[in-house]
Structure 1
Amino acid sequence: MMDFATRVHNHNYRLDPIIRSLLDTDFYKFLMHQFIWMLYPKVPVTFSLINRTKTVRLAEIIPEAVLRAQLDHARTLTFRENELIWLAGNRFYGRRDIFRPEYIEYLRTFRLPDYKLETVDGQYVLTFEGDWAAVTMWEIYALAIVSELRSRIAMASLDKFELDILYAQTKTKIWNKIKKLKSYPDMRLAEFGTRRRHGFLWQEWVTDAMANELGRSFVGTSNALLAFKHSFEAIGTNSHELPMVFGCLADSDEVLKTAQYDVLAKWQEVYDGELLIILPDTFGMTQFLRDAPAWASKWTGMRMDSKEPVAAGEEVIAWYAMRGEDPRKKRAMFSDGLEVDLMIDLHQRFRG
């Protein structure tokens, strides 16, 4: 059993690395990374991590030297041989050949590129600039580092006894949620918390608890390292990043309009089957569905992420019906800020 109090107390050591493996990221990053590496590796991009909660002044909470130390450590990491073997040889979504041998060889020498860190009005502005295939992988590592550092600093003043009580209370909250979910054995859910996690060890404990207690309801985790360590199913397809970059590359309003569909057309040239999940809300779900090409309705399903989930689900059902498709044969994934009660409500409304 993990002794969280001792481990958190030990975070006061000179450097307790947050990112210890390049697998410690969302699985969809590898699917997107291969896609980018195959088709658009040298497209110049600039990504920035900006705190949208302005009342939380991160630069006044996290010392710059501490943040730099974690970012610099992440840049020293390379993929281990057994991690590459797992990516190359494991079965994902029923396939053992999702990752091309050439891509695995590319990963063998991959390292994270440099970064730029600035302080503006009490906030950090963390920027990554360069070739798309190099820069894209920073996303989840950077988010996890900032999120976990904030948690570490918030708990640094607590002694071991206080930490022990804190984790006992939090475990009880998690258990009460799991008990609720166990009442709905035909529900399917996955863990998707890497980017905003309290810490890797806590994420691992919660994911393991879900896997042990929820049985078939728990279908996997988005975290590739947890999937690797515990033989969980690795979950994920793609994110808003792809149509956003395609949109930035557009040189006219017409090209901008079709960019959200062009990226899906390219995606289905690289992947098929269970990976054909549409994320329709980068520029708004309603306009996406209204103007979507006929082949889009043939995809496996949709992930509803930004729109109010009940309204989104009903809109998608109506869209499939209008396109002559049976919505009951499609997969719906809800992923935005879900709490247990909302998960249960959505399951009861849309199951079947």
Structure 2
Amino acid sequence: MANASPPPECYIQSLLDVDLYKLSMQYAVLEKYPHVNVKYRFTNRSGTKFTRTMYDAVLAAIKHLETLRLQPAERAFLERRCPYFPKSYLDYLSDFRLRPDEQVKVDFVPNGEKDADGTEWGGFDLEIHGLWTETILYEVPLMSIISEAYFTHVDTKWDYVGQFENARQKGLALYRAGCILSEFGSRRRRTYKAHDIVMRGLIKANEECGNGKEGKGGKLSGTSNVHFAQKYDLAPIGTIAHELIMGIAALEGYEGSNGRMMDMWEKIYPDGSLGIALTDTFTTKPFFDDFVSNPERARRWKGLRQDSGDPFKFIPVAKEAFQRVGADPSKKIVVFSDSLDVKRCLELKKASDEAGIGCSFGVGTDLTNDFRHVEQPEQQEHLGDGPIRTEGAKSKALNMVIKLYSINDQFCVKISDELTKNTGDPEAVRLVKRRFGLEDHGAESDAAKWGPTV
């Protein structure tokens, strides 16, 4: 019998090729908001031009999502590695189907440019709509599809040479410095194959460093991607994304929304295993106000995730917050996840150690989309082999997001500690800034302005 042909480029092959926080939030939404409708919208922040051919590939890959099913081995992995998911949720996920024909609308918007060979250029309008419980799983695979389609059909001047060694060397540098690393690169990976090579390189470096048992204890703690966690028997890593807090705030009110999210999350996951709080949905000041208002609750959380703004200013603020609620900062953790590379991780590790607070690192695009322009790409039998490429300009990743746009027809907004990351209807953003007293100064300073210990 002939071997089955390989799947077309950019097709998603597993329902678990998604970040864990999508599953953890899906269960929370299923429990708390099963009948709520939402819309998500795609934003191409850098305005990168796409082609009609790329669009056709994206359409085909989106259509293919309807074929995905949770496989028995995948369910067994979730039962073993994610004991916080009850049987009722795994039953739901086993019966779950994506319905892109009904739930995803994507149009090609030509910009009037056409090359001599007939190549038509433009952009995408993409919207996801439907029940929150059903549409929450689209963001990660859609971004993976768009990225891979772009680097397969538009920017093709690159290859895989040296990718294994590149990931291995980054892993070694981080582990030997005592860094706890989680791979966070699903959404903006260059391709599935690139992601797989990176995972192998990080795992190899982890083995060489004794899996965290030697030296300073640095290690690969796992990956946000549940499929790769299963493939390599790693811990899937993730808790909460901005959209859950955005949705709660739009539905139930902005004041105290971070605290209400924490209360809800503790009821859904009472063992505390997913107790890492995201701090910057409406800048860090409102979060920390909620956090310290209930010291007993705050002490139960394992740590905080820093995802925008100045991470070095965040360290003393996080330390002070833990001290205010009577927690030992050295026994808590800050998870840094904003645009990290090896150099920034090492700097933040040093600063955290000096401050006496725990830390770990979620590194994404710098691992799964670190490539250089190659005029004549090399075809390899074993992808990723060879020395690290050092010549040629950086081949940049796409700068794109898919964000929750509305919930039950109420606009959703995100007011980041980095002003350029703000998303949502402009008037809604203005109103929410006014509610939190943010309109008179830049949000980036909010962590530093949170206030002295009293």
Q: After TM superposition, is the score higher than 0.5?
A: yes
Secondary structure of 2:254's match? Answer: helix
Aligned length: 322
- Aligned residue number for residue 276 of structure 1: 275
Aligned positions of 1:42-81 closer than 5 A: 42-54=35-47, 56-58=48-50, 60=51, 63-81=54-72
Secondary structure of 1:278's match? Answer: strand
Contact 2:54–2:153 under 8 Å retained in 1:
no
Greater share of residues in strand:
2
Q: Structure 2-normalised TM-score?
A: 0.67
Cα 1:61/1:174, change in 2 over 3 Å: farther
Aligned positions of 1:49-198 closer than 5 A: 49-54=42-47, 56-58=48-50, 60=51, 63-87=54-78, 89-92=79-82, 96=83, 98-113=84-99, 114-120=103-109, 122-154=122-154, 156=156, 166-184=159-177, 186-198=178-190
- Aligned residue number for residue 229 of structure 2: 227
Contact 2:169–2:205 under 8 Å retained in 1:
no
Tell whether 2:322 aligns with 1:320: yes
- Aligned residue number for residue 193 of structure 2: 201
Contact 1:45–1:132 under 8 Å retained in 2:
yes
Deviation at 1:83, TM superposition (A): 1.2
Secondary structure of 2:187's match? Answer: helix
The root-mean-square deviation of aligned C-alpha atoms, in Å, is: 2.1
- The superposition leaves residues 136-170 of structure 1 with CA deviations (integer Å, 9 ceiling, x where unpaired) of 111111111111111112454x6xxxx6xx32244
Q: Using the alignment, how far apart are the partners of 1:179 and 1:212 within structure 2?
A: 9
Secondary structure of 1:288's match? Answer: helix
Structure 1 stretches of 5 or more lacking a match? 1-10
Secondary structure of 1:275's match? Answer: coil
Deviates more, 1:313-322 or 1:339-348: 313-322
Deviation at 1:118, TM superposition (A): 2.3
Contact 1:247–1:259 under 8 Å retained in 2:
yes
Contact 2:259–2:290 under 8 Å retained in 1:
no
- Could you list the structure 1 runs, at least 4 aligned residues long, displaced by more than 6 angstroms after superposition: none
Q: Using the alignment, how far apart are the partners of 1:167 and 1:266 within structure 2?
A: 44
- The superposition leaves residues 277-321 of structure 1 with CA deviations (integer Å, 9 ceiling, x where unpaired) of 110110010222124331442111101111211111121112222
Percentage identity across paired residues of the two chains: 29
Deviates more, 1:292-301 or 1:313-322: 292-301
Q: Structure 1-normalised TM-score?
A: 0.85
**Larger relative contact order (Cα-Cα within 8 Å, sequence gap ≥ 6):** 2
Deviates more, 1:112-121 or 1:167-176: 167-176
Contact 1:47–1:127 under 8 Å retained in 2:
yes
Cα 1:242/1:262, change in 2 over 3 Å: same
